[in-house]
Structure formats: structure tokens, C-alpha cells
Amino acid sequence: MPDVPDREPTVTTSSFQVDVDGDAVTATRYRTGAATAPQPTVLLCTGFGGTQDTPAVVAAAQRFATAGMTAVTFDYRTFGVSSGQPRQVVSVKRQLHDIRTVLRRLRLDPALDADRIALWGTSLGGGHVLAVAASEPVAAVVAQMPFNGFPRRVEGRSLAGSFAVLGAAFRDAARGALGRPPLYIPAVGAVGELAVMVGDEAGDAVAGLASATWRNEVAPRGILEMMRYRPGRLVSRIEAPLLVTVADRDAETVGETTRHLADEAPDGRLLGYDTTHFGIYRPDMRERVLADQAQFLRERLGIRTA
């Protein structure tokens, strides 16, 4: 009989909630039908304004699940299907607390191996996993285009445009202090628009992020906290193996803020790809990047078969 090609294992999903200071953080578990307990696990952390149902995050979770681990995604409070008010507010402090709380919940799950839990994060989430791994015992870390401070110059944005975004952030912060609703602006916009991230790829980026819950608007007050956020300063404390993946033509998390992180980590590795910040999420490039990341996680989590 002719050989029958191996089929990709079927990935099943299930949702659960984690209480974080009275708010419900909603998470999704991805596993294959052949999964046996206790499983190695990877917790995925989305980027700025991202939600767990965006195509790139779903693709990453499915890819890691087929590689032999349980993948867990979640929405930060005020985003997606998690609770919290006001909506669409990025808070570094609160998001780090969300990650740590979900991580503690995973360690208590008898279906998971508490000693083989990895962290994966992209963009702002990539910065978050560096900060969390510096103080939490994890088995491995993948930081994809990690945020480590704003670049000195934002490609596609004039000085006047930068001041306009900063002004919106201060006005929104003032509204928050007074208990008023946020002053929302787009998360992603075209060159010349008032948005947190701007560029020629804005249209493609928005199309690639489209999902049932993702909204192209955020409260810009979060920018003020991010201006002081440098998670890369903590990489020397990360004991777990670290993989930093970067886009060589990234205009958002530029090389000057990210490429040195792998060298400064005790056990760091750097992989670069000839693409842009949003290009790394495109299906063709994404498959290549996820294959490299899945292999890294399999090796570090001791997974012998996919």
C-alpha cells in the first residue's frame, strides 16, 4: 500500500476565566486531540491594543499546539472579551499583573506541567514577557519584536505629528483623572493621521488584525506610561532560554532598542527576518517565523515529537 501522508493533529479549544482583582480575564486553551497530561505550555501575550482572536495570535497558538504543547491565549482587561472599564485602555502595570495572574493559574492546572511553562509575546507583549520572565520562573521565553522604548524617530511621522499624539495622550490622561470617558484615537493609521502607529502598511495592518473583537481604537493615555517602560533593562535577570525574533525593517520596535537584548541575556539567541513590523504577521512570513519559534520551544521544553 502507498504511504499515507501524516496529517496535522486536530487542535481543540476551550475557554476559561481567571479572576484578576474582580475582573474576568478570558483565556483560550489550544490542545491537540492526542495531548496527554501533564503538558508543557506556552502562554501567549498580545501586542499593543491586540486581542487573542486576531489571525496572527490564533495562528501562533495553533502552530504551537500542533508542535506538542498546550497554548494559552487571553485578553488583557478592558480588551476583547475580558471585562474591565473603561474599554481599550492600555496599562503596562495592569497588563503585567494580568500575565502574572494567568501564569499562576496555569501552574495550578493539573493538566499542565508547572515546570515547563514558556512565555511568548509580540510587540508590547514581547516587552511584557521580558519583564515577567525576569522575576518569574519560566522554562523558556520568545520575545517577538519586543517593545523596549519608543524609537528616537518614528518613521512616517513628523515632529508635529508626534506632538499631536502626545497632546492627545495628555488630554486623555486628564479625562481619566476626572473620571470622564477616554478620548480614543486609532491604534493604527496611515502616514499623516493621528494614530499611535502610522505607516504605509496601515491598510494591510488593519486588514490583518481584523477579528470579531479587535477595534482600531485605543485610549492614548497608555503612551505616557510606555514612555518610561524599558523591559530590556531586566534581561540580564532572565534565567530561562530566550529567543528574540526581530523584523530587520521594523519601524516600530527598531533594531537599536531590540537587537542587543539577546546578547545581554544569560542564554539568549537572536533571529532576524527581512520584513517589517506588520509584515511579520503576514501568512507567508508568519509560517516561517512560527516554525523557528516552535522548534525553539520544543527543544527548550523537552518535546521530542510534534
Q: State the average pLDDT for the chain.
A: 93
- As a whole number of angstroms, the distance between CA 184 and CA 199 comes to 19
- The predicted-structure confidence for 131-186, as pLDDT tens digits, reads as follows 999 999 999 999 999 999 987 766 666 888 889 999 999 999 999 999 999 999 99
pLDDT of residue 111: 93
- What is residue 29's predicted lDDT score, i.e. its pLDDT? 97
Q: Is the pLDDT of residue 129 over 50?
A: yes
- CA atoms lying within 13 Å on the CB side of residue 298: 16
What's the confidence (pLDDT) of residue 155? 63
Q: For 3-22, how does the pLDDT look when each residue is reduced to its tens digit (9 = 90+)?
A: 444 567 899 999 999 999 99
pLDDT score recorded for residue 2: 43
- In tens, the pLDDT along 86-104 reads 999 999 999 999 999 999 9
Contact 293, 54 (CB under 8 A): no
Which pairing describes strands 39-45 and 112-122: parallel, antiparallel, or unpaired?
parallel
* H or E element that contains 21: none
Between 26 and 34, the higher pLDDT residue? 26
pLDDT at position 70 is: 97
In whole angstroms, how large is the CA radius of gyration of the chain?
A: 19
For residue 153, what pLDDT is reported? 67
Strand partners, 268: 242
Cell 540580564 locates to 236
Closest C-alpha among 253, 247, 250 to residue 230? 253
Q: How confident is the model at residue 305 (pLDDT cuts 50, 70, 90)?
A: low
Residue 254's pLDDT is 85
Please state whether the predicted TM-score (pTM) of the whole model is above 0.85. yes
Which helix or strand (DSSP H or E) is residue 117 part of? strand 112-122
Q: Where are the beta strands (DSSP E) in 150-275?
A: 188-189, 197-198, 242-247, 268-273
Sequence ranges of the domains in the chain: 11-152+230-301
Please enumerate in sequence order all residues whose Cβ is within 8 A of that of 19, keeping only pairs 6 or more positions apart, or say none.
25
CATH number for 11-152+230-301: choose from 1.10.1060.10, 3.40.50.920, 3.40.50.720, 3.40.50.1820: 3.40.50.1820
